[in-house]
């Protein structure tokens, strides 16, 4: 019997969009792809996007792909179980953000998860230390693979290069969290917004001193990232527009003078 996840023929335009796109289409059709021998042949190629797994052979990646649970998240959909179910999650395609909310409704985005990065996987003895609930939300449509805790332990025990990459990622994460804490504790909301816009400009690409953020970040999302209110963000964004540093272009936001924004940040420091 033919699999409903059969790989599309090469003549189909959709087959030329890459393995991660093909996997995401399968997840969209089915809601999620569970562990199955009928996983599409492109599954292991999707795992090739994960930085800590890049030392593995194609055969080993194929074995891992069959062990994974595959999930597709639509825009703004939350991922259930991350940081509580001990599974290790890997973002194959898309972008996620991790936030926490207080009982009064105030929230803070702790960080963003980029494509190719792993997260979650807390061992049993540390689960109780997660005092505040963490919410993982898709900033764009995203494809996620996850491994059970025992499969992760076996992977790290048997693949020294993966273990080294894993430790390196944890070190990078510690540095990023420390930098975030320093920014929250020492910079004003205005300067934190400037920093965030500059980081997004770098990711989007700077061309002739300008950068186009497409789509424009939502003010509520920026407020969560900055630990401020939407009103504070709106006021400063309007000020930057008046200064000629920002310009709204439909659903996009253009940073018209990246260096000028950087000068404002340096002056505030």
- Is residue 8, in this structure, part of any structural domain at all? no
Q: Mark whether 246 and 117 lie in a shared domain.
A: no
Together in a domain, 172 and 119: yes
Query: Please, which residues have CB within 8 angstroms of residue 106's CB and are 6 or more apart in sequence?
Result: none
Residue 85: is its pLDDT beyond 80? yes
Share of the chain above pLDDT 70, in %: 80
Residue 70 forms beta bridges with which residues? 33, 145
154 and 196 inside one domain = no
> Based on the domain organization, do 98 and 35 belong to the same domain?
yes
- The helix/strand/coil state of 66 is helix
Please say which residue of 184, 219, 246 terminates a domain: 184
pLDDT over 70 at 226, yes or no: yes
Q: Read off the pTM.
A: 0.76
> Last residue of some domain: 162, 184, 206?
184
- Total number of domains constituting the chain: 2
Longest dimension (CA), the chain: 67
What range does the domain containing 259 cover? 187-268
Please, are residues 79 and 144 in contact by the beta-carbon 8 Å criterion? yes
- pLDDT at res. 35: 39
pLDDT of the residue at 15: 38
Q: H/E element holding 236? A: helix 230-242
Residue 57: Cβ within 10 Å count: 9
């Amino acid at each position: 019997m033919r699999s409903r996840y059969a790989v599309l023929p090469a003549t189909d335009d959709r087959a030329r969009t890459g393995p991660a796109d093909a996997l995401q289409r399968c997840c969209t059709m089915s809601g999620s792809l569970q562990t199955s021998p009928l996983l599409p042949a492109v599954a292991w190629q999707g795992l090739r996007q994960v930085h800590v797994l890049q030392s593995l052979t194609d055969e080993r990646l194929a074995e891992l792909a069959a062990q994974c649970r595959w999930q597709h998240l639509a825009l703004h959909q939350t991922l259930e179980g991350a940081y509580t179910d001990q599974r290790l999650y890997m973002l194959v395609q898309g972008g996620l953000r991790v936030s926490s909310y207080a009982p009064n409704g105030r929230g803070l985005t702790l960080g963003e998860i980029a494509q190719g990065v792993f997260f979650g996987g807390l061992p049993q003895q540390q689960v109780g230390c997660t005092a505040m609930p963490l919410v993982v939300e898709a900033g764009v449509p995203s494809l996620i693979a996850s491994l059970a805790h025992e499969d992760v332990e076996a992977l790290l025990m048997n693949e020294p290069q993966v273990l080294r990459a894993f430790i390196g990622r944890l070190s990078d994460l510690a540095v990023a969290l420390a930098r975030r804490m320093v920014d929250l504790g020492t910079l004003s909301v205005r300067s934190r917004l400037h920093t965030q816009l500059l980081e997004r400009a770098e990711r989007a690409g700077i061309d002739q001193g300008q950068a186009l953020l497409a789509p424009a970040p939502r003010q509520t999302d920026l407020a969560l990232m900055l630990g401020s209110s939407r009103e504070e963000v709106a006021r400063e964004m309007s000020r930057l527009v008046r200064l000629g540093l920002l310009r709204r272009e439909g659903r996009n936001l253009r940073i018209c003078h990246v260096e000028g924004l950087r000068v404002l940040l340096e002056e505030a420091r």
